[in-house]
Amino acid sequence: MIVEVATLVLVGLTKLDGRITYVNPDQVVQLIETREAIGGDNKLFTNEVFCLITLSDKNYVTVRETCDQIRELFTGVHKEAPK
């Protein structure tokens, strides 16, 4: 008998309005640091959005955490994942 158990891991991130959105790290295609995060001109978002996350279904999420913070969270998730 073979039993396979899949574990779904979701990471909570803060949207602009303060609500928490849960993202599956395995569905993330890219993290894009916003100009707001680096203090650049030609701002595309409000001053409170620091990372744009593109998902595999071509949707995106803007969040208050920096891309570096998100990378750390995702790295922690993969280190703690059961084998």
The domains located in the chain, with CATH, are 11-80 (2.30.29)
pTM of the predicted protein model = 0.77
Maximum Cα–Cα distance across the chain: 60
d(Cα 37, Cα 12) in Å, to the nearest integer? 19
Per-residue pLDDT of the chain (83 residues; tens, 9 = 90+): 656 667 788 999 999 999 999 999 999 999 998 876 666 665 677 778 889 999 999 999 999 999 999 999 998 876 655 54
